[in-house]
Amino acid sequence: MAGNAGKSITLLILVLLTAPLMAQAELSAPEIYNEGLATIVELTLEGVESLEATRQGAALILDIASDSFPSPAEEYEGIGFIDTVTLRPVNDGGELRVLLWPGDYFYTAEHSGATGLLRIEVRDSYGSDPAALTPDSNLDKLRIRRIVIDPGHGGNYTGTGSYSGRWLEKQLVLPISYYLSNLLEHHLGLEVLLTRSADTKIGLHGRTLLANRAEADLFISIHLNGHSNNHAHGAETFFLADAETSDSRALAHLENADFSVDPDLPMESTDELAFILGSLMQNEYLTESQQLAGFVQESMVYNLGCNDRGVKQAPFYVLVGTQMPAILVEVGFLTNETEELLLIDPTYQHEAAYAIYRGIAEYKAAFESGLLR
């Protein structure tokens, strides 16, 4: 069954609802077991008005009208085709999330109003036996589940200023990061962590540390560009390596300025040796980082219609030591008069987030289907 890891997930959704309208649902812990060629999830859900089933990446999501879901979320270990089952409160109701192992599946979800029994049945489209699937750590690595989004700068780390002098980089990367986080969560079913959610001072090493401790699968640092030439414009995406051009070196120097006063590091850790050691750790993911940067850059150019400044390499300290593929995205030039007007517009901020999201989604699909080498 390890060969299934390279296949995409195809789902046939069939939901049968017979539950009467009631005010509140009562939950039981799910039972997860293999039955013939299917993996089954069963639990009791009484008082359900409706269930809405959707596919989000590798997850099956059932939105349930209820106010009795556990808080915090409760996660149950799966077997067969199912990795985990999670119950969690969402807005005015709850969510049942069934995370599948990489493969090609269809499923049905049936709920009986008479008994309150919810039954989800997952089958492999090739008729494989779920009991034969024995996932290991290598199979788990073939799926992207958790992403850290890093809104650049914050606090007295202001980043670049705008052409008009009215805006700072640290202000405008936050809404782009929020939009991106929502898109990744709602459309791909990913868990997303932000290194900061307000105008907070966070050292560059602290951002990397958060991503490593969270065991994130991807690290995306969001920035806006600046240049002494206010005609410079367009998007560019970086991965960690020695700079190839003087412009890349200058930009890295600007973005690394926060590092010299990083509260998370003693000053002696900012020397060349520390950078080399951190770079060696990231080198394991050099190819994946470059590929991810390519997908994101291509998507930004296509979806935004912006000037293509390409995929580049530069020694950004915020990427040093990340134990996962990591990129730094420069969405546009805040020092360019035209692009400043775009970058302060919430509509364009959302479009930029969508473009980055599409690039990540395409990378994820290619990575999980085994198309990347």
- CA Rg value for the chain: 23
How confident is the model at residue 127, as a pLDDT? 87
Instruction: Pick the closest to residue 10 from 365, 275, 315, 274 (CA basis).
Output: 365
Same domain, 265 and 238: yes
The model's pTM is 0.63
Contact 34, 80 (CB under 8 A): yes
The full DSSP string for 319-353 is GTT-SS-EEEEEEEETTSHHHHHHHT-HHHHHHHH
Q: Using CA of residue 122, residue 127, residue 130, residue 131, what is the dihedral sign? A: positive
Same domain, 282 and 364: yes
Q: Which residues of 58-72 are buried (b: 16+ CB within 10 A; e: fewer)?
A: bbbbbbbbbeebeee
How confident is the model at residue 11, as a pLDDT? 46
pLDDT band at residue 45 using 50, 70 and 90 as cut-offs: confident
Give 223-255 pLDDT, tens digit per residue: 999 988 999 999 999 887 654 445 544 554 444
Same domain, 304 and 207: yes
Give 326-339 pLDDT, tens digit per residue: 898 999 999 999 99
Q: Which of 12-16, 132-136, 201-205, 314-318 has the lowest mean pLDDT?
A: 12-16
Same domain, 201 and 113: no
User: Two tokens at 246?
Assistant: 């003087």
Total count of domains within the chain = 2
Whether 155 is covered by a domain: the verdict is: yes
**Structural domain harbouring 214:** 146-368
How confident is the model at residue 25, as a pLDDT? 46
Higher pLDDT, 210 or 9: 210
Same domain, 101 and 174: no
Same domain, 24 and 120: yes
pLDDT above 80: residue 345 = yes
Give 246-284 pLDDT, tens digit per residue: 554 455 444 444 444 444 444 343 444 454 445 545 567
CATH of the domain at 297: 3.40.630.40
Query: Across the strands, what pairs with 117?
Result: 44
Same domain, 158 and 40: no
Same domain, 213 and 255: yes
How confident is the model at residue 112, as a pLDDT? 80
